[in-house]
A and B are shown apart, each in its own frame.
Chain A
Amino acid sequence: MTTFIARHGRGVLGLIIAALVLVAAVAAPVLVAQDPLRTDFAVGLKPPGTPGHPLGTDQLGRDLLARVLYGARVALFIGLCCVLLTAVVGGLAGLLAGYYEGWLGAVVMRVADVQLSFPFILLALTINAIVGLGLRNIIVSLSVAGWVVYARVVRGEVLSVKEREFVHAAQALGLGRARLLFRHILPNVAPSIVIVGSLQFAQFIVAEAAISFLGFGVQPPTPAWGSMLSESRDYLYVAWWLAAFPGAALALTALGINLVGDWLRDVLDPKFRV
């Protein structure tokens, strides 16, 4: 029993937290009666415990609990979209670069180098400065900034998998390239993609907060934890709850997902190194 907890305890904890967040996101309309978008100036900046507003209200009188719960939707949506986009694009790039090597590999790696030489947050900011604000554009900029990790990791994995015997055997048997790539190499590389994905999921959610801080947040009135945190700066000394609850939600979600990611790594590929 103790071995089970030692090995899987953190993962289970992570899964519970992640499940809670998922439930909050999906069942938000059911869990809370208030409309997160409804403004009511008369009840602006009310503290937690006010009747009808267990977590308080923001400066426009919107219910904070509702906004935090609905914010889960945005957070999970951002995380999922970014992870899917980066995994597909980066994974593909890495696969091709690793398998074909030669000039294709070199080009991909040089592009990756160029991108990596520019700090992540500044790159995302540059892209947002061009494409504008908004949820969709945040996903775009985060994905563009984030695919590089996958490419690198996957390429490394492919390079080592390529040398394995079963691949040589398959080649000797005359298996077509595409088939070899997708039916045989990819499944072996898949665990690392999953692991990186889980590790990056939380990072994308936190990155949205950073981008909102710099002024490129999600469009109002959509509730997103990152932009809620950013807006709370002006009211830090008079309405601490505006920063505390979205911040706690953000930290908790990131915690849960990171725990799951760690557990996946332990289970799928203990020797995995980024």
Chain B
Amino acid sequence: MTRFATLLTTLAVLLGLAASAPAQDRARTKEVVVAFAAEPRTLLPDTIVDWTTNNMVEHMYDRLVDRDPKTYKPSPMLATGWKVVNDTTWEFALRRNVKFHNGEVFDAQSVKATMDYIKDPANKTHYLPRWALLKEVQIVNDYTVRFVTEKPWPGLIDRIAGSDFLPMPPKALKEQGAPALAAKPIGTGAFRFVQWVRDERLVVERNPDYWQTPAEASRVTFRFIPEFSARLAALLAGEIDIMKDVPPQNVEMLEKSGKARLRATVSSRINYLALVNLKPGPMQDLRVRKAIHAAVNVDELIQQVLKGRATKMCGSLSPINVDYSPKPQCLKHDPAQAQALFKEAGVDPTKLQLTLDTPSGRYPLDKDLSLAIAAQLQRVGIKTNVVVNEWGTHLDKIKNRTTGDMFFLGWGPALDAQNTIEQLFLGKQTYSSYGNNEALEAKINQAVTIVDPKKRLEAWAEIQQLVRDEVPWVFLWQQHDLYGVANWIEWTPRADERVWMYEAKLAR
């Protein structure tokens, strides 16, 4: 398009397009408006790993395997069933009578073409490393495929039950190419693409030929409002219907507004305070780590700062995690014990000077929580210097091991052990804070190869106990995802952070 034409188009868009109708009209026409802080990075599925992007892309594309919204165990979607054929082969039965938005039929060809797209380095997708263990997809017949892996990969089902595999239309992909598909998405999803005004809004409409009952919402508009208070203002003014991350202190006001109310869920995303033992320092002593954990009062943090909006954790995995073991006991808050442990380690807490790195605004009240933790440590005499980092710098520091003695981080969605424990407790992993424990490393490397489900759970249970005993973190909590939802919409948030308007029920 010529530059001049772009100029004119923009002006037309700025002035001509009607703004979103007010809430009452939208209730009648069943149009929902969801606000995100940023726009999608692309509309091509299987390309970029990003919560915001995938949430919007998955309105137009379906997963092969979904997660049950209550149990979070893998559940059928475009695949109706699966089984393990042998150590290195999984077989999936595909759903029949499913069509893409352009009329193409969904079948084994689509699955193979999508995996070929992901595995082709020229496409530079983020998902390539995640499917590294996969050798190829074999077509058995039109509605049966086999995933063949290089080595035994029992975690494949966890990998596939998410945004990591969203089938694309093979003919369109081949004939038009990925960029065309990015400009005009064609999936099997509950909604069809209408329009994307960059950095402003994305509009999708109901797919009447959806393979399940069509959605109640006739149209969904995603608006991109970067400033939190502007999002809240838009919700209160009735301009938008759903927004995420309402800070705990604003909940009461929201409920009293009469326009919207709070919908909360316990998230699979966890927060923790890493006690870094990867470099020389007081944190390399197990007793010091235990003492610090005893000095921090997690309950107080949850009650006073988060206003109760967090679920305490006793170990590295949360109950939502499929590999969770309830065995590890919670470490208690006990200042006296903390002092005793310090004494035993030969460390005088009043002479201790620690540094705590934290991001700001990345996780709910992360900065305030870090300051609160520092205040708690002060009670046993420890001086903590809280360093606030811009997000990129925070990640840089963790990766380069240049953070202080402690850092605040979150991780999620944490739905299985491999993606949590393997990522965070092996010294060589990018964002790990703990290492130098060969016994634990060996056990972890062993556990990821166990195919038998029962034995896997046992292995992970043992590892969780070991990790808890090593106190690599001050175990904090599972976040609560706080959504503001307009009164005329009935929608329950999911713990895996998927925002899917197909699940929204609208008031009549």
**B-binding residues in A (CB < 8 A):** 39, 41-42, 44-45, 59-60, 129, 132-133, 215-217, 219-221, 233-239
Stretch at the interface among B383-391, B409-417, B489-497: B383-391
Q: Which residues of B contact A217 (CB under 8 A)?
A: 388
B386/A220 in contact, CB under 8 A:
yes
14 contacts between A and B (CB under 8 A): A39-B372, A41-B300, A41-B304, A44-B304, A60-B371, A132-B389, A132-B390, A133-B390, A219-B388, A220-B388, A234-B249, A237-B236, A237-B250, A238-B249
A60/B249 in contact, CB under 8 A:
no
Expressed in whole angstroms, the Cα–Cα distance for A41 and B372 within the complex equals 9
Expressed in whole angstroms, the Cα–Cα distance for A94 and B371 within the complex equals 45
Asked if B314 CB lies within 8 Å of chain A CBs, one says no
Q: Which residues of B contact A221 (CB under 8 A)?
A: 371, 386
B250/A234 in contact, CB under 8 A:
yes
Q: Which residues of B contact A60 (CB under 8 A)?
A: 305, 368, 371-372
Expressed in whole angstroms, the Cα–Cα distance for A59 and B360 within the complex equals 15
Q: Give the bracket for the number of chain B residues in contact with chain A.
A: 20 to 34
Asked if B179 CB lies within 8 Å of chain A CBs, one says no
Expressed in whole angstroms, the Cα–Cα distance for A221 and B228 within the complex equals 22
Rounded to whole Å, the gap between the CB of A64 and the closest CB of chain B is 15
Partner of A215, one of B252, B300, B360: B360
Partner of B390, one of A41, A44, A129: A129
Q: Do A45 and B388 form a contact, CB below 8 Å, given A39-B375, A215-B361, A234-B228?
A: no
A133/B229 in contact, CB under 8 A:
no
Interface of B is mostly: helix
Rounded to whole Å, the gap between the CB of B19 and the closest CB of chain A is 23
Rounded to whole Å, the gap between the CB of B92 and the closest CB of chain A is 44
A59/B249 in contact, CB under 8 A:
yes
Q: Which residues of B contact A233 (CB under 8 A)?
A: 227-229
B229/A236 in contact, CB under 8 A:
yes
B249/A235 in contact, CB under 8 A:
yes
Asked if B253 CB lies within 8 Å of chain A CBs, one says yes
Asked if B247 CB lies within 8 Å of chain A CBs, one says yes
* Best-buried of B232, B300, B361, B375 by chain A (most CB within 10 Å): B375
Q: List 9 extra interface pairs beyond A129-B390, A219-B387, A238-B250, CB under 8 A.
A: A39-B371, A39-B375, A60-B371, A133-B388, A215-B360, A220-B386, A235-B247, A236-B232, A238-B252
Expressed in whole angstroms, the Cα–Cα distance for A132 and B388 within the complex equals 9
* Best-buried of A133, A216, A239 by chain B (most CB within 10 Å): A133
A45/B229 in contact, CB under 8 A:
no
Q: Which residues of B contact A39 (CB under 8 A)?
A: 371-372, 375
CB closest residue in chain B, given A130: B393
Rounded to whole Å, the gap between the CB of B371 and the closest CB of chain A is 6
